[in-house]
Amino acid sequence: MNHPPAAAPRPTTARRTRTTGPAARRAAPRALAAALVAAAVAVLPAPAAYADSIRAQQWALDALHTDKAWRTTKGEGVTVAVLDTGVDGSHPDLEGRVLEGKDLIGFGAGKGDRAWARHGTAMAGIIAGHGSGPGRSDGVVGIAPEAKILPVRVILEGGDPARKRARSTRGNALAQGIRWAADHGADVINLSLGDDSKSAHPEPAEDAAVQYALGKGAVVVASAGNSGEEGDHISYPAAYPGVIAVAAVDSSGTHASFSTSRWYATVSAPGVDVIIADPDRRYYEGWGTSAASAFVSGAAALVRAAHPDLTPAQVKKLLADTARNAPEGGRDDARGYGFVDPAAALEAAGRLRPARLRPASAPHGEKYFGAGPDPVREADGPAGWVAPAAGGVGALLLAGAVVLWRTSRPTAARHFH
């Protein structure tokens, strides 16, 4: 069966202005990008968010019970591949954590250009940022701050003039990147990107690359998509079998309206009002399933650090089985099996015995990868978080194509893609 050409995977970030305070948060506009890429949105000057307040704004760290998880491990010895727009390894929050990677695009913006490595650096910070400044008390801290980042450039930023050329000439970069990462020591592969356009369809080469990575022992995590307000279009690579697909929720545990609801959702994670690092050395606030994917990749890294012999299938089931605040019935398309809980996963992992590697598989002829969609139901309300110590729960940004940003100091108006 012939398919129309699919849109190339793209960064899932859309940035714009925002002011502080609860009223402003409720009123902040949101713009969604149909194919996990948002159109350019003006970013106006925002109130200063000085470095010494950045840590206090990382509500996701409390929501994910990182203090408890870090009693066991902070991810030392684990490598997380970030397949994205590149990663700025010289960023103070990532210095010493970024390995030599691979550029599968080979052209476009370079280091120092504004349209370089913004999305990838943000994702890397969510996963393995270690903070900066005296005692590393400033800046962004990731979920697995002692893990290593393996950057693989497979897409270009929306603001890169060469992006159109890359989409037409580097359509196989994602499949190549997944295989390259699996062959170069990746324990976890983060895919905060995807195609959730109306024409999106499974690409055999990408599916085969995912199965190859799973067979090599790499956990594969992807954003569920940001088409929740545009028809809930299926997103790839999230829908490939074996992938841990991550939906986004906000700080109250409510399904984020932009987050795609589909049968493949495994778990949910913070995806709204997430603080992220940028190559310009400022910090921004964003939203999208991209960020949610990065948080879960960090959680998977913690599990792999403490229990390196568990298979990708075991890690996926472990994160699903230990998720908090499960939807009624145990699972739904909006939040999967619930909010990911790395501390609970680490505790439960100690009771597992490693299994043999067995990559997932599913024929393309099937309508669904899995059991199919949920029956039609009313929109989800608040999840009712039951862990007050968490200080609220959140959904992350850069996991899809919708992100809100705030500068660390007043700046002139700019445009992002």
Residues labelled catalytic: 84, 119, 290
Give 271's DSSP letter. B
Distance spanning both ends of the chain, measured CA to CA: 34
Q: Are 147 and 127 in contact (CB under 8 A)?
A: yes
Q: HSE-up of 398 (CA within 13 Å, CB side)? A: 32
Listing DSSP states for 336-371 in one string gives: BTSB--HHHHHHHHTT------------TTSS-SSS
Of 291, 207, 293, 197, the residue nearest 244 (C-alpha)? 293
Rounded Cα distance between 97 and 116, Å, is: 19
Rounded Cα distance between 129 and 77, Å, is: 15
For the chain, how long is the longest CA-to-CA vector? 59
Rounded Cα distance between 94 and 103, Å, is: 19
Of 389, 345, 286, 340, the residue nearest 58 (C-alpha)? 286
- Joined together, the tokens standing for residue 312 give 């990708």
Q: Which residues pair with 286 in a beta bridge?
A: 274
**389, amino acid identity:** A
Rounded Cα distance between 222 and 214, Å, is: 13
Contact residues for 3 (Cβ-Cβ < 8 A; gap 6+): 199, 201
Rounded Cα distance between 259 and 395, Å, is: 10
Q: If you search the block for the tokens 């809980």, which residue do you land on?
A: 341
Of 217, 227, 220, the residue nearest 206 (C-alpha)? 220
- Joined together, the tokens standing for residue 220 give 């594969």
